[in-house]
Structure 1
Amino acid sequence: MAGYGKGLVDLGSGIYAYLQPDGSWGWSNAGLIRDGDEALLVDTLFDEPLTAEMLGVMRDATGLGASDIGTVVNTHANGDHTHGNGLLPQAEIVASEASAKEMAEFSPQMLAQLKAAGAAGQLGVAGNYFAEIFAPFDFAGVNSRAPTQTFNGRLDLKVGDKGVRLIEVGPAHTAGDVLVHVPTDRTVFTGDILFIEGTPIMWEGPVSNWLAACEMILDMDVDHIVPGHGPLTDRAGVRAVHDYLGYITQEARKRYDAGMSAADAAFDIGLGRFDAWSDAERLAVNVDTLYREFAHDHSPRNTLALFELMGRLYYDRKGRTAA
Protein backbone atom coordinates (compact mmCIF):
# COMPACT_ATOMS: atom_id res chain seq x y z
CA MET A 1 0.00 0.00 0.00
CA ALA A 2 2.89 2.33 -0.71
CA GLY A 3 1.67 5.89 -1.03
CA TYR A 4 -1.78 5.00 0.31
CA GLY A 5 -2.60 8.02 2.43
CA LYS A 6 -5.81 9.70 3.45
CA GLY A 7 -7.10 12.45 1.22
CA LEU A 8 -7.63 13.64 -2.32
CA VAL A 9 -5.63 12.25 -5.23
CA ASP A 10 -5.63 14.29 -8.46
CA LEU A 11 -5.84 11.80 -11.33
CA GLY A 12 -5.78 14.55 -13.96
CA SER A 13 -8.36 16.04 -16.33
CA GLY A 14 -10.75 16.95 -13.52
CA ILE A 15 -10.88 13.46 -11.99
CA TYR A 16 -10.15 12.97 -8.29
CA ALA A 17 -10.16 10.02 -5.90
CA TYR A 18 -10.72 10.47 -2.17
CA LEU A 19 -9.11 7.66 -0.18
CA GLN A 20 -9.56 6.57 3.45
CA PRO A 21 -6.99 4.12 4.82
CA ASP A 22 -7.02 1.46 5.94
CA GLY A 23 -10.02 0.50 3.82
CA SER A 24 -11.52 -1.72 6.52
CA TRP A 25 -15.15 -1.60 7.75
CA GLY A 26 -16.56 1.85 6.99
CA TRP A 27 -13.36 3.38 5.62
CA SER A 28 -14.56 3.78 2.05
CA ASN A 29 -13.35 5.74 -0.96
CA ALA A 30 -15.18 8.36 -3.01
CA GLY A 31 -14.51 10.42 -6.12
CA LEU A 32 -15.09 13.74 -7.84
CA ILE A 33 -15.64 14.31 -11.55
CA ARG A 34 -15.59 17.93 -12.70
CA ASP A 35 -15.63 19.89 -15.91
CA GLY A 36 -15.51 23.65 -15.52
CA ASP A 37 -18.03 24.71 -12.90
CA GLU A 38 -19.96 21.43 -12.98
CA ALA A 39 -19.19 18.50 -10.70
CA LEU A 40 -20.40 15.01 -9.84
CA LEU A 41 -19.56 13.25 -6.58
CA VAL A 42 -19.14 9.49 -6.57
CA ASP A 43 -20.40 8.37 -3.15
CA THR A 44 -20.49 10.07 0.22
CA LEU A 45 -19.00 8.64 3.43
CA PHE A 46 -20.16 6.75 6.52
CA ASP A 47 -21.14 9.75 8.62
CA GLU A 48 -21.59 13.48 8.27
CA PRO A 49 -18.34 14.62 9.95
CA LEU A 50 -16.29 12.46 7.57
CA THR A 51 -18.26 13.67 4.57
CA ALA A 52 -17.97 17.31 5.64
CA GLU A 53 -14.21 16.87 5.97
CA MET A 54 -14.01 15.37 2.48
CA LEU A 55 -16.11 18.14 0.94
CA GLY A 56 -13.84 20.72 2.58
CA VAL A 57 -10.73 19.07 1.14
CA MET A 58 -12.36 19.00 -2.29
CA ARG A 59 -13.31 22.67 -2.01
CA ASP A 60 -9.78 23.67 -1.05
CA ALA A 61 -8.31 21.71 -3.96
CA THR A 62 -10.79 22.63 -6.69
CA GLY A 63 -12.60 25.79 -5.59
CA LEU A 64 -15.90 23.91 -5.83
CA GLY A 65 -17.95 23.66 -2.65
CA ALA A 66 -20.80 21.33 -1.76
CA SER A 67 -23.32 23.71 -3.35
CA ASP A 68 -21.47 23.41 -6.68
CA ILE A 69 -21.91 19.64 -6.84
CA GLY A 70 -24.97 19.05 -8.98
CA THR A 71 -25.07 15.24 -8.86
CA VAL A 72 -24.17 12.51 -6.39
CA VAL A 73 -23.99 8.92 -7.62
CA ASN A 74 -24.33 6.26 -4.92
CA THR A 75 -22.59 3.16 -6.24
CA HIS A 76 -24.65 0.96 -3.90
CA ALA A 77 -26.79 1.09 -0.77
CA ASN A 78 -24.30 0.56 2.07
CA GLY A 79 -24.12 3.47 4.50
CA ASP A 80 -20.40 4.03 4.09
CA HIS A 81 -21.23 5.18 0.54
CA THR A 82 -24.50 7.03 1.26
CA HIS A 83 -24.75 8.46 4.78
CA GLY A 84 -23.32 11.85 3.78
CA ASN A 85 -26.00 12.47 1.15
CA GLY A 86 -27.81 14.90 3.42
CA LEU A 87 -24.93 17.37 3.23
CA LEU A 88 -25.74 17.95 -0.44
CA PRO A 89 -29.39 19.04 -0.26
CA GLN A 90 -29.38 20.66 -3.71
CA ALA A 91 -27.84 17.73 -5.61
CA GLU A 92 -29.59 15.10 -7.67
CA ILE A 93 -28.93 11.78 -5.92
CA VAL A 94 -28.65 8.99 -8.50
CA ALA A 95 -28.64 5.26 -7.74
CA SER A 96 -29.88 2.04 -9.24
CA GLU A 97 -33.50 1.23 -8.47
CA ALA A 98 -32.42 -1.84 -6.50
CA SER A 99 -30.03 0.25 -4.38
CA ALA A 100 -32.71 2.84 -3.62
CA LYS A 101 -35.02 0.09 -2.37
CA GLU A 102 -32.25 -1.39 -0.24
CA MET A 103 -31.40 2.01 1.30
CA ALA A 104 -35.01 2.43 2.38
CA GLU A 105 -34.93 -0.90 4.22
CA PHE A 106 -31.89 -0.23 6.44
CA SER A 107 -31.60 3.21 8.02
CA PRO A 108 -28.65 4.83 9.85
CA GLN A 109 -30.87 4.92 12.93
CA MET A 110 -30.97 1.12 12.88
CA LEU A 111 -27.16 1.06 12.78
CA ALA A 112 -27.03 3.51 15.69
CA GLN A 113 -29.35 1.30 17.75
CA LEU A 114 -27.35 -1.85 16.99
CA LYS A 115 -24.09 -0.12 17.86
CA ALA A 116 -25.49 1.19 21.15
CA ALA A 117 -26.93 -2.20 22.07
CA GLY A 118 -23.63 -3.88 21.24
CA ALA A 119 -21.64 -1.39 23.31
CA ALA A 120 -24.01 -2.08 26.21
CA GLY A 121 -23.30 -5.81 25.96
CA GLN A 122 -26.86 -6.66 24.94
CA LEU A 123 -26.21 -8.68 21.76
CA GLY A 124 -23.44 -11.06 22.76
CA VAL A 125 -20.62 -11.76 20.31
CA ALA A 126 -22.44 -10.07 17.43
CA GLY A 127 -22.93 -6.90 19.44
CA ASN A 128 -19.35 -6.79 20.71
CA TYR A 129 -18.03 -7.21 17.19
CA PHE A 130 -20.45 -4.68 15.68
CA ALA A 131 -19.64 -2.06 18.32
CA GLU A 132 -15.90 -2.61 17.90
CA ILE A 133 -15.66 -2.39 14.13
CA PHE A 134 -18.00 0.61 13.88
CA ALA A 135 -16.70 2.48 16.94
CA PRO A 136 -15.25 5.43 14.95
CA PHE A 137 -18.53 6.36 13.23
CA ASP A 138 -21.45 8.56 14.32
CA PHE A 139 -24.62 7.01 12.93
CA ALA A 140 -26.91 8.85 15.34
CA GLY A 141 -26.05 12.16 13.68
CA VAL A 142 -26.90 11.09 10.14
CA ASN A 143 -29.71 12.80 8.23
CA SER A 144 -30.14 10.37 5.38
CA ARG A 145 -31.21 11.55 1.93
CA ALA A 146 -32.70 9.06 -0.48
CA PRO A 147 -32.00 8.92 -4.22
CA THR A 148 -33.98 11.38 -6.31
CA GLN A 149 -33.32 9.58 -9.61
CA THR A 150 -33.09 5.84 -10.16
CA PHE A 151 -32.34 3.67 -13.15
CA ASN A 152 -31.95 0.08 -14.28
CA GLY A 153 -29.17 -1.23 -16.48
CA ARG A 154 -27.29 1.81 -17.79
CA LEU A 155 -27.57 5.57 -17.54
CA ASP A 156 -25.48 8.19 -19.34
CA LEU A 157 -24.88 11.50 -17.58
CA LYS A 158 -23.00 14.66 -18.51
CA VAL A 159 -20.70 16.72 -16.31
CA GLY A 160 -20.01 19.76 -18.45
CA ASP A 161 -18.78 18.17 -21.66
CA LYS A 162 -17.67 14.93 -19.98
CA GLY A 163 -19.70 11.81 -20.55
CA VAL A 164 -20.18 9.63 -17.46
CA ARG A 165 -21.59 6.13 -17.89
CA LEU A 166 -23.33 4.35 -15.01
CA ILE A 167 -23.38 0.58 -15.43
CA GLU A 168 -25.45 -1.59 -13.10
CA VAL A 169 -23.58 -4.82 -12.39
CA GLY A 170 -25.52 -5.97 -9.33
CA PRO A 171 -26.86 -7.88 -7.66
CA ALA A 172 -23.38 -8.87 -6.49
CA HIS A 173 -21.87 -7.21 -3.40
CA THR A 174 -25.32 -5.70 -2.77
CA ALA A 175 -28.62 -5.69 -4.65
CA GLY A 176 -27.79 -2.88 -7.07
CA ASP A 177 -24.06 -2.26 -7.52
CA VAL A 178 -23.04 0.36 -10.11
CA LEU A 179 -19.75 1.13 -11.88
CA VAL A 180 -19.06 4.78 -12.75
CA HIS A 181 -17.06 4.91 -15.98
CA VAL A 182 -15.55 8.06 -17.50
CA PRO A 183 -14.40 6.76 -20.89
CA THR A 184 -12.65 9.92 -22.16
CA ASP A 185 -10.58 10.12 -18.98
CA ARG A 186 -9.90 6.36 -18.88
CA THR A 187 -11.19 6.07 -15.32
CA VAL A 188 -13.62 3.79 -13.51
CA PHE A 189 -14.94 4.11 -9.97
CA THR A 190 -15.96 0.58 -8.98
CA GLY A 191 -17.72 0.99 -5.66
CA ASP A 192 -17.48 -2.18 -3.61
CA ILE A 193 -17.05 -4.46 -6.59
CA LEU A 194 -13.40 -3.98 -5.63
CA PHE A 195 -11.91 -4.27 -2.15
CA ILE A 196 -8.14 -4.00 -2.58
CA GLU A 197 -5.99 -5.84 -0.02
CA GLY A 198 -9.19 -6.29 1.99
CA THR A 199 -11.64 -9.19 1.95
CA PRO A 200 -14.71 -8.64 -0.25
CA ILE A 201 -18.08 -9.28 1.36
CA MET A 202 -20.90 -10.76 -0.70
CA TRP A 203 -24.14 -9.69 0.94
CA GLU A 204 -26.25 -10.49 -2.10
CA GLY A 205 -24.71 -12.50 -4.95
CA PRO A 206 -24.88 -14.40 -7.22
CA VAL A 207 -21.13 -14.78 -7.40
CA SER A 208 -21.34 -15.09 -11.20
CA ASN A 209 -22.47 -11.44 -11.42
CA TRP A 210 -19.52 -10.29 -9.33
CA LEU A 211 -17.07 -12.30 -11.42
CA ALA A 212 -18.62 -10.84 -14.57
CA ALA A 213 -18.26 -7.32 -13.15
CA CYS A 214 -14.54 -7.92 -12.56
CA GLU A 215 -14.22 -9.19 -16.11
CA MET A 216 -16.01 -6.07 -17.40
CA ILE A 217 -13.50 -3.85 -15.58
CA LEU A 218 -10.62 -5.88 -17.00
CA ASP A 219 -12.02 -5.30 -20.49
CA MET A 220 -12.27 -1.52 -20.03
CA ASP A 221 -9.68 0.77 -21.59
CA VAL A 222 -8.78 2.54 -18.34
CA ASP A 223 -5.67 3.85 -16.65
CA HIS A 224 -7.26 4.65 -13.29
CA ILE A 225 -9.24 2.13 -11.23
CA VAL A 226 -10.67 3.54 -8.00
CA PRO A 227 -11.95 0.79 -5.67
CA GLY A 228 -14.63 1.16 -3.04
CA HIS A 229 -12.07 0.31 -0.35
CA GLY A 230 -8.30 0.23 -0.36
CA PRO A 231 -5.59 1.88 -2.47
CA LEU A 232 -5.84 2.78 -6.14
CA THR A 233 -5.32 -0.33 -8.20
CA ASP A 234 -4.65 -1.81 -11.61
CA ARG A 235 -5.67 -4.93 -13.49
CA ALA A 236 -3.65 -7.11 -11.12
CA GLY A 237 -5.81 -5.88 -8.25
CA VAL A 238 -8.98 -6.67 -10.20
CA ARG A 239 -7.69 -10.16 -10.99
CA ALA A 240 -6.91 -10.74 -7.31
CA VAL A 241 -10.52 -10.01 -6.33
CA HIS A 242 -11.72 -12.26 -9.16
CA ASP A 243 -9.36 -15.01 -7.97
CA TYR A 244 -10.56 -14.73 -4.36
CA LEU A 245 -14.19 -15.06 -5.39
CA GLY A 246 -13.41 -18.04 -7.61
CA TYR A 247 -11.37 -19.72 -4.87
CA ILE A 248 -13.97 -19.42 -2.11
CA THR A 249 -16.70 -20.57 -4.49
CA GLN A 250 -14.77 -23.78 -5.21
CA GLU A 251 -13.93 -24.36 -1.55
CA ALA A 252 -17.49 -23.68 -0.37
CA ARG A 253 -18.92 -25.99 -3.05
CA LYS A 254 -16.70 -28.88 -1.91
CA ARG A 255 -17.95 -28.53 1.65
CA TYR A 256 -21.58 -28.01 0.64
CA ASP A 257 -21.47 -31.20 -1.42
CA ALA A 258 -19.91 -33.01 1.55
CA GLY A 259 -22.81 -31.98 3.79
CA MET A 260 -20.82 -29.56 5.98
CA SER A 261 -22.76 -26.62 7.44
CA ALA A 262 -22.01 -23.10 6.25
CA ALA A 263 -20.74 -22.14 9.69
CA ASP A 264 -18.40 -25.12 9.88
CA ALA A 265 -17.21 -24.44 6.33
CA ALA A 266 -16.34 -20.85 7.25
CA PHE A 267 -14.04 -22.12 10.00
CA ASP A 268 -12.65 -24.91 7.84
CA ILE A 269 -11.65 -23.06 4.66
CA GLY A 270 -8.01 -22.00 4.58
CA LEU A 271 -7.45 -18.67 2.86
CA GLY A 272 -3.99 -19.34 1.45
CA ARG A 273 -2.57 -16.29 -0.32
CA PHE A 274 -5.62 -14.25 0.69
CA ASP A 275 -5.04 -14.80 4.42
CA ALA A 276 -3.14 -11.51 4.82
CA TRP A 277 -6.06 -9.44 3.54
CA SER A 278 -7.90 -7.46 6.22
CA ASP A 279 -11.32 -8.52 7.50
CA ALA A 280 -10.83 -12.21 6.72
CA GLU A 281 -13.86 -13.01 8.91
CA ARG A 282 -16.11 -11.80 6.08
CA LEU A 283 -15.64 -15.31 4.75
CA ALA A 284 -18.58 -16.22 7.00
CA VAL A 285 -20.98 -14.06 4.98
CA ASN A 286 -19.48 -15.16 1.69
CA VAL A 287 -19.90 -18.84 2.47
CA ASP A 288 -23.44 -18.30 3.74
CA THR A 289 -24.35 -16.46 0.51
CA LEU A 290 -22.78 -19.18 -1.62
CA TYR A 291 -24.58 -21.94 0.30
CA ARG A 292 -27.87 -20.11 -0.21
CA GLU A 293 -27.08 -19.85 -3.91
CA PHE A 294 -26.22 -23.55 -4.17
CA ALA A 295 -29.48 -24.44 -2.42
CA HIS A 296 -31.61 -21.90 -4.34
CA ASP A 297 -32.61 -20.53 -0.93
CA HIS A 298 -34.24 -17.10 -1.21
CA SER A 299 -35.55 -16.85 2.36
CA PRO A 300 -34.62 -13.77 4.45
CA ARG A 301 -31.12 -14.00 5.86
CA ASN A 302 -30.38 -13.64 9.58
CA THR A 303 -27.95 -10.71 9.53
CA LEU A 304 -27.41 -10.71 13.28
CA ALA A 305 -26.43 -14.39 13.17
CA LEU A 306 -23.92 -13.59 10.42
CA PHE A 307 -22.39 -10.83 12.53
CA GLU A 308 -22.13 -13.33 15.38
CA LEU A 309 -20.29 -15.80 13.15
CA MET A 310 -17.99 -13.08 11.78
CA GLY A 311 -17.32 -12.03 15.37
CA ARG A 312 -16.41 -15.57 16.36
CA LEU A 313 -13.97 -15.82 13.43
CA TYR A 314 -12.58 -12.35 14.17
CA TYR A 315 -11.90 -13.02 17.85
CA ASP A 316 -10.60 -16.50 17.09
CA ARG A 317 -8.04 -15.11 14.64
CA LYS A 318 -6.98 -12.50 17.18
CA GLY A 319 -6.76 -15.00 20.01
CA ARG A 320 -9.27 -13.02 22.05
CA THR A 321 -12.35 -14.02 23.99
CA ALA A 322 -15.46 -13.39 21.91
CA ALA A 323 -17.75 -12.18 24.69
Structure 2
Amino acid sequence: MESPVFTRVQNSTYHLDHFSGGLPGAHALPAHRLLRRDRRYARRSRRDGNAGPAAEAAHWVPALVAEAEQHLCQRAVVRMDAGFTDGTTLEALDSRAIGYLGRLRENPVLQRLAQPHLVRGPGRPAEKPREWVVETTYRAGSWSRERRVLMVVQEEPGHYFRRCFFLVTNLDWPPTRVLAHYRKRGKAEGHMGEFKDVIGTSLPPTSRGVADDDTVRARSQALLSLRLLAFELMHILRARLETLTGEGWSLRRLRERVLKVAARVQRTGRRLHFVIARPALPLWRKLMPSLARMAWPPPG
Protein backbone atom coordinates (compact mmCIF):
# COMPACT_ATOMS: atom_id res chain seq x y z
CA MET A 1 0.00 0.00 0.00
CA GLU A 2 1.26 3.46 -0.84
CA SER A 3 1.07 6.33 1.64
CA PRO A 4 2.75 9.32 -0.02
CA VAL A 5 0.39 12.02 1.19
CA PHE A 6 0.07 11.55 4.96
CA THR A 7 3.74 11.01 5.87
CA ARG A 8 4.78 12.86 9.06
CA VAL A 9 7.95 14.81 8.29
CA GLN A 10 10.69 15.89 10.68
CA ASN A 11 10.70 19.66 10.08
CA SER A 12 8.17 21.83 8.27
CA THR A 13 7.52 25.52 7.75
CA TYR A 14 3.97 26.86 7.85
CA HIS A 15 3.05 30.00 5.98
CA LEU A 16 0.56 32.11 7.92
CA ASP A 17 -1.76 34.17 5.76
CA HIS A 18 -5.36 35.28 5.41
CA PHE A 19 -7.78 35.96 2.62
CA SER A 20 -11.11 37.72 2.26
CA GLY A 21 -14.44 36.67 0.84
CA GLY A 22 -17.55 38.77 0.43
CA LEU A 23 -20.56 38.61 2.70
CA PRO A 24 -23.32 41.20 2.82
CA GLY A 25 -24.24 43.39 5.74
CA ALA A 26 -22.15 43.45 8.88
CA HIS A 27 -19.78 40.80 7.52
CA ALA A 28 -18.70 42.68 4.42
CA LEU A 29 -15.04 41.67 4.83
CA PRO A 30 -14.82 38.32 6.58
CA ALA A 31 -11.35 36.82 6.40
CA HIS A 32 -10.04 33.32 6.95
CA ARG A 33 -6.81 32.38 8.63
CA LEU A 34 -5.00 29.52 7.02
CA LEU A 35 -1.96 27.65 8.21
CA ARG A 36 -0.43 25.66 5.39
CA ARG A 37 2.31 23.15 4.91
CA ASP A 38 3.40 23.08 1.28
CA ARG A 39 0.02 22.66 -0.46
CA ARG A 40 -1.89 21.12 2.45
CA TYR A 41 -4.07 23.05 4.87
CA ALA A 42 -3.84 22.03 8.51
CA ARG A 43 -6.84 23.98 9.79
CA ARG A 44 -9.12 26.86 8.91
CA SER A 45 -11.01 29.39 10.99
CA ARG A 46 -13.23 32.34 10.31
CA ARG A 47 -13.45 35.76 11.92
CA ASP A 48 -15.74 38.75 11.55
CA GLY A 49 -14.96 41.38 8.95
CA ASN A 50 -14.14 44.12 11.45
CA ALA A 51 -11.28 42.13 13.01
CA GLY A 52 -7.67 42.54 11.92
CA PRO A 53 -5.72 39.67 10.35
CA ALA A 54 -3.97 38.92 13.65
CA ALA A 55 -7.10 39.04 15.82
CA GLU A 56 -6.66 36.47 18.62
CA ALA A 57 -3.60 35.07 16.80
CA ALA A 58 -1.84 34.63 20.14
CA HIS A 59 -4.42 31.93 20.91
CA TRP A 60 -5.06 30.13 17.63
CA VAL A 61 -1.57 30.14 16.11
CA PRO A 62 0.04 28.13 18.97
CA ALA A 63 -2.95 25.78 18.91
CA LEU A 64 -2.52 25.18 15.18
CA VAL A 65 1.22 24.62 15.57
CA ALA A 66 0.58 22.11 18.36
CA GLU A 67 -1.86 20.22 16.14
CA ALA A 68 0.58 20.30 13.22
CA GLU A 69 3.39 18.89 15.38
CA GLN A 70 1.08 16.17 16.60
CA HIS A 71 -0.08 14.98 13.18
CA LEU A 72 2.09 16.41 10.39
CA CYS A 73 5.64 17.13 11.56
CA GLN A 74 7.97 16.88 14.53
CA ARG A 75 8.89 20.57 14.62
CA ALA A 76 7.09 23.46 12.99
CA VAL A 77 8.37 26.92 12.10
CA VAL A 78 5.91 29.75 11.38
CA ARG A 79 6.56 32.19 8.53
CA MET A 80 4.22 35.20 8.57
CA ASP A 81 3.59 38.57 7.00
CA ALA A 82 3.67 41.93 8.78
CA GLY A 83 0.08 41.61 9.95
CA PHE A 84 1.05 38.97 12.51
CA THR A 85 4.19 40.49 14.08
CA ASP A 86 2.43 42.31 16.92
CA GLY A 87 3.79 41.99 20.44
CA THR A 88 1.04 39.74 21.79
CA THR A 89 1.43 37.17 19.02
CA LEU A 90 5.24 37.11 19.22
CA GLU A 91 5.14 36.76 23.02
CA ALA A 92 2.81 33.78 22.68
CA LEU A 93 5.16 32.12 20.17
CA ASP A 94 8.25 32.83 22.27
CA SER A 95 6.65 31.47 25.44
CA ARG A 96 5.96 28.16 23.69
CA ALA A 97 9.37 27.99 21.98
CA ILE A 98 7.79 28.17 18.52
CA GLY A 99 10.23 29.30 15.86
CA TYR A 100 9.09 32.14 13.63
CA LEU A 101 10.23 34.66 11.05
CA GLY A 102 8.16 37.52 9.73
CA ARG A 103 8.37 40.80 7.90
CA LEU A 104 8.05 44.13 9.68
CA ARG A 105 6.16 47.15 8.44
CA GLU A 106 8.29 50.20 7.82
CA ASN A 107 8.09 52.96 10.41
CA PRO A 108 10.16 56.06 11.32
CA VAL A 109 12.35 54.13 13.82
CA LEU A 110 13.25 51.46 11.28
CA GLN A 111 13.87 54.12 8.64
CA ARG A 112 16.38 55.80 10.98
CA LEU A 113 18.12 52.46 11.53
CA ALA A 114 18.35 51.95 7.79
CA GLN A 115 19.47 55.47 6.88
CA PRO A 116 23.26 54.87 7.11
CA HIS A 117 22.93 51.92 4.71
CA LEU A 118 20.69 53.49 2.06
CA VAL A 119 23.15 55.82 0.33
CA ARG A 120 25.89 54.35 -1.83
CA GLY A 121 29.35 55.32 -0.64
CA PRO A 122 32.26 56.63 -2.74
CA GLY A 123 33.85 54.37 -5.30
CA ARG A 124 32.85 52.55 -8.44
CA PRO A 125 29.14 51.50 -8.49
CA ALA A 126 28.27 47.85 -8.54
CA GLU A 127 27.99 46.24 -11.96
CA LYS A 128 25.55 43.59 -10.73
CA PRO A 129 22.73 43.65 -8.16
CA ARG A 130 24.03 43.20 -4.64
CA GLU A 131 22.33 42.19 -1.42
CA TRP A 132 23.52 41.73 2.14
CA VAL A 133 22.06 41.36 5.61
CA VAL A 134 22.75 43.61 8.62
CA GLU A 135 21.84 42.07 11.98
CA THR A 136 20.56 44.30 14.77
CA THR A 137 18.04 44.42 17.62
CA TYR A 138 14.83 46.42 17.70
CA ARG A 139 11.85 46.93 19.98
CA ALA A 140 8.53 47.91 18.42
CA GLY A 141 5.98 49.88 20.39
CA SER A 142 3.83 46.81 21.13
CA TRP A 143 6.80 44.59 22.07
CA SER A 144 7.84 44.05 25.67
CA ARG A 145 11.54 43.66 24.80
CA GLU A 146 14.07 43.89 22.01
CA ARG A 147 14.14 41.13 19.41
CA ARG A 148 16.53 39.95 16.75
CA VAL A 149 15.92 41.88 13.53
CA LEU A 150 17.60 41.44 10.15
CA MET A 151 17.87 44.39 7.78
CA VAL A 152 18.13 43.21 4.16
CA VAL A 153 19.89 45.85 2.05
CA GLN A 154 19.56 45.73 -1.75
CA GLU A 155 21.59 47.69 -4.30
CA GLU A 156 20.81 47.94 -8.00
CA PRO A 157 23.29 49.07 -10.71
CA GLY A 158 22.65 52.64 -11.78
CA HIS A 159 20.72 53.54 -8.61
CA TYR A 160 22.26 55.90 -6.09
CA PHE A 161 19.89 54.97 -3.27
CA ARG A 162 19.55 51.47 -1.91
CA ARG A 163 16.43 49.70 -0.70
CA CYS A 164 15.90 47.61 2.41
CA PHE A 165 13.31 45.64 4.35
CA PHE A 166 13.26 44.14 7.85
CA LEU A 167 12.64 40.65 9.23
CA VAL A 168 12.08 39.66 12.85
CA THR A 169 12.94 36.15 14.03
CA ASN A 170 13.70 34.09 17.12
CA LEU A 171 15.54 31.41 15.13
CA ASP A 172 19.26 30.93 15.83
CA TRP A 173 20.00 30.39 12.14
CA PRO A 174 22.62 32.42 10.24
CA PRO A 175 21.15 35.57 8.65
CA THR A 176 21.52 34.27 5.11
CA ARG A 177 19.57 31.11 5.98
CA VAL A 178 16.77 33.13 7.57
CA LEU A 179 16.51 35.28 4.45
CA ALA A 180 16.54 32.28 2.11
CA HIS A 181 13.79 30.64 4.17
CA TYR A 182 11.68 33.79 4.10
CA ARG A 183 12.03 33.97 0.33
CA LYS A 184 10.34 30.58 0.01
CA ARG A 185 7.06 32.30 0.93
CA GLY A 186 6.53 32.86 -2.78
CA LYS A 187 5.65 29.19 -3.27
CA ALA A 188 3.11 29.25 -0.45
CA GLU A 189 1.56 32.49 -1.68
CA GLY A 190 1.39 31.03 -5.17
CA HIS A 191 -0.63 28.10 -3.86
CA MET A 192 -2.85 30.54 -1.98
CA GLY A 193 -3.51 32.34 -5.25
CA GLU A 194 -4.22 29.01 -6.91
CA PHE A 195 -6.76 28.25 -4.18
CA LYS A 196 -8.50 31.56 -4.79
CA ASP A 197 -8.50 31.07 -8.56
CA VAL A 198 -9.71 27.47 -8.79
CA ILE A 199 -11.60 26.82 -5.55
CA GLY A 200 -12.86 30.33 -4.75
CA THR A 201 -13.15 32.27 -1.49
CA SER A 202 -16.54 34.01 -1.51
CA LEU A 203 -18.80 32.84 1.29
CA PRO A 204 -22.41 34.00 0.69
CA PRO A 205 -25.14 32.93 3.12
CA THR A 206 -27.90 30.73 1.73
CA SER A 207 -30.69 33.02 2.99
CA ARG A 208 -29.85 36.62 2.15
CA GLY A 209 -31.48 39.09 4.50
CA VAL A 210 -33.13 36.34 6.56
CA ALA A 211 -30.36 34.48 8.41
CA ASP A 212 -29.04 35.89 11.69
CA ASP A 213 -25.36 36.41 12.45
CA ASP A 214 -24.83 33.00 14.07
CA THR A 215 -26.41 31.23 11.11
CA VAL A 216 -24.29 33.22 8.66
CA ARG A 217 -21.14 32.30 10.58
CA ALA A 218 -22.06 28.63 10.69
CA ARG A 219 -22.83 28.49 6.97
CA SER A 220 -19.64 30.35 6.09
CA GLN A 221 -17.56 28.00 8.25
CA ALA A 222 -19.17 24.96 6.64
CA LEU A 223 -18.62 26.28 3.12
CA LEU A 224 -15.01 27.13 3.88
CA SER A 225 -14.47 23.61 5.24
CA LEU A 226 -15.92 22.10 2.08
CA ARG A 227 -13.67 24.23 -0.10
CA LEU A 228 -10.59 23.26 1.87
CA LEU A 229 -11.59 19.61 1.56
CA ALA A 230 -11.94 20.09 -2.19
CA PHE A 231 -8.45 21.59 -2.27
CA GLU A 232 -7.06 18.58 -0.36
CA LEU A 233 -8.68 16.10 -2.74
CA MET A 234 -7.53 17.99 -5.82
CA HIS A 235 -3.99 18.11 -4.46
CA ILE A 236 -4.00 14.34 -3.98
CA LEU A 237 -5.02 13.90 -7.61
CA ARG A 238 -2.48 16.47 -8.74
CA ALA A 239 0.36 14.84 -6.81
CA ARG A 240 -0.49 11.43 -8.22
CA LEU A 241 -0.63 12.74 -11.78
CA GLU A 242 2.71 14.50 -11.40
CA THR A 243 4.27 11.21 -10.30
CA LEU A 244 2.61 9.19 -13.05
CA THR A 245 3.20 11.58 -15.94
CA GLY A 246 6.45 13.27 -14.91
CA GLU A 247 4.88 16.67 -15.61
CA GLY A 248 3.82 19.60 -13.47
CA TRP A 249 0.07 19.94 -12.94
CA SER A 250 -1.73 23.06 -11.81
CA LEU A 251 -5.15 22.81 -10.22
CA ARG A 252 -6.68 24.60 -13.18
CA ARG A 253 -5.16 22.11 -15.62
CA LEU A 254 -6.34 19.23 -13.43
CA ARG A 255 -9.86 20.62 -13.35
CA GLU A 256 -10.09 21.24 -17.08
CA ARG A 257 -8.41 18.06 -18.37
CA VAL A 258 -9.30 15.45 -15.76
CA LEU A 259 -12.31 16.49 -13.68
CA LYS A 260 -14.34 18.71 -15.99
CA VAL A 261 -14.87 16.11 -18.71
CA ALA A 262 -17.92 14.50 -20.24
CA ALA A 263 -19.01 11.11 -18.89
CA ARG A 264 -21.93 8.74 -19.21
CA VAL A 265 -23.30 6.52 -16.43
CA GLN A 266 -24.53 3.05 -17.29
CA ARG A 267 -26.30 0.69 -14.91
CA THR A 268 -26.02 -3.03 -15.54
CA GLY A 269 -27.25 -5.42 -12.89
CA ARG A 270 -25.75 -4.35 -9.59
CA ARG A 271 -22.96 -2.25 -11.09
CA LEU A 272 -22.59 1.32 -12.24
CA HIS A 273 -20.22 2.01 -15.13
CA PHE A 274 -18.78 5.46 -15.84
CA VAL A 275 -17.87 5.90 -19.47
CA ILE A 276 -15.37 8.77 -19.57
CA ALA A 277 -14.77 10.89 -22.66
CA ARG A 278 -11.91 9.63 -24.79
CA PRO A 279 -9.51 12.64 -24.29
CA ALA A 280 -9.39 12.08 -20.50
CA LEU A 281 -9.43 8.28 -20.60
CA PRO A 282 -5.62 7.70 -20.67
CA LEU A 283 -5.15 9.87 -17.60
CA TRP A 284 -7.90 8.12 -15.64
CA ARG A 285 -6.50 4.71 -16.59
CA LYS A 286 -3.23 5.74 -14.92
CA LEU A 287 -4.87 7.47 -12.00
CA MET A 288 -7.41 4.92 -10.76
CA PRO A 289 -5.02 2.03 -9.97
CA SER A 290 -2.69 4.44 -8.19
CA LEU A 291 -5.47 5.81 -5.99
CA ALA A 292 -6.65 2.30 -5.16
CA ARG A 293 -3.16 1.44 -3.81
CA MET A 294 -2.97 4.42 -1.46
CA ALA A 295 -3.13 3.82 2.28
CA TRP A 296 -5.74 6.17 3.69
CA PRO A 297 -5.69 6.96 7.44
CA PRO A 298 -8.62 5.71 9.53
CA PRO A 299 -11.42 8.22 10.30
CA GLY A 300 -10.85 10.43 13.32
TM over 0.5: no
Larger radius of gyration, structure 1 or 2? 2
TM-score range, shorter chain: under 0.3
Greater fraction of residues in strand: 2
Q: What TM-score comes out, normalization by structure 1 length?
A: 0.24
Q: What TM-score comes out, normalization by structure 2 length?
A: 0.25
